Amino acid sequence: MIRINLLPFRAARRKENVRRQVSIFILMIFLFSAVLYYYTSYVDKKIHRVRQNIASANTQIARYRDKAERVTKIKKDLDNLKKKLETISALQSKRRESVTLLDEMTDLIIPGKMWLTSLKIYEARVEVKGLAYDNKIVADFMTSLESSFLFSNVDLKTLELKTFAREFNLKAFELACKKKPAAAKADQKGKK
């Protein structure tokens, strides 16, 4: 029988298989490294773009924040200005009202027989203090106030006798009355 030695052939085949597996392994490592490199580059570019967008957004935020702060300041200044204008218009109307009330009050005084010592004007009422020769003059003054278009509900708070320089006896009086709502209308009639 003839014997053939196949061992060198099998050994060569094994070496070839090992060489092939090693080259496939090295090729796989190379391909994996290349894919990993390209993926890392792609992710880095994406991160770089996102950082640029964030930086751009931050600069826009800073620019718009300044504008928003200016707008807020302007709105606050406008509110303050509106409040000041409302205060000025309220003071203007109060000033005219006070002048109208004082003018009407001086028209109602009985000249030479009575004098006003104090006039206080509040939101809805007026307090008057003064001196008169007698009770009838105070009563006439109260009646004229009642019939006036500016005053109502005239009330005598106090009436007392005061002596001046040991010779003159005068009646000191204190009145309270309400302002009529028509006072504003009369004020506007006076303006025209």
- DSSP secondary structure of 103-134: HHHHHHS-TTTEEEEEEEE-SSEEEEEEEESS
- In whole angstroms, give the CA distance from residue 130 to residue 140: 14
**Look-up of token digits 């509106």:** 82
Q: What is the pLDDT along the chain (192 residues), one digit of tens a residue?
A: 777 666 666 777 888 889 999 999 999 999 999 999 999 999 999 999 999 999 999 998 988 988 899 999 999 999 999 999 999 888 887 777 777 888 888 888 888 888 888 888 888 888 989 999 888 998 998 888 888 888 888 888 988 888 877 778 888 999 998 887 654 444 444 544
**Look-up of token digits 């309220």:** 90
In 129-181, which ranges are continuous DSSP H helix? 135-147
Strands of 148-192, DSSP E: 151-164, 168-179
Structure tokens belonging to residue 36: 């990993």
**CA-CA distances (angstroms) from residue 144 to 73, 130, 155?**
54, 15, 13
Amino acid at 148: S
- In whole angstroms, give the CA distance from residue 178 to residue 173: 17
Backbone angles phi, psi at 156, to 5 degrees: -85, 115
Task: Count CA atoms closer than 13 A to 124's CA, side-chain side.
Answer: 1
What pTM was computed for the model? 0.50
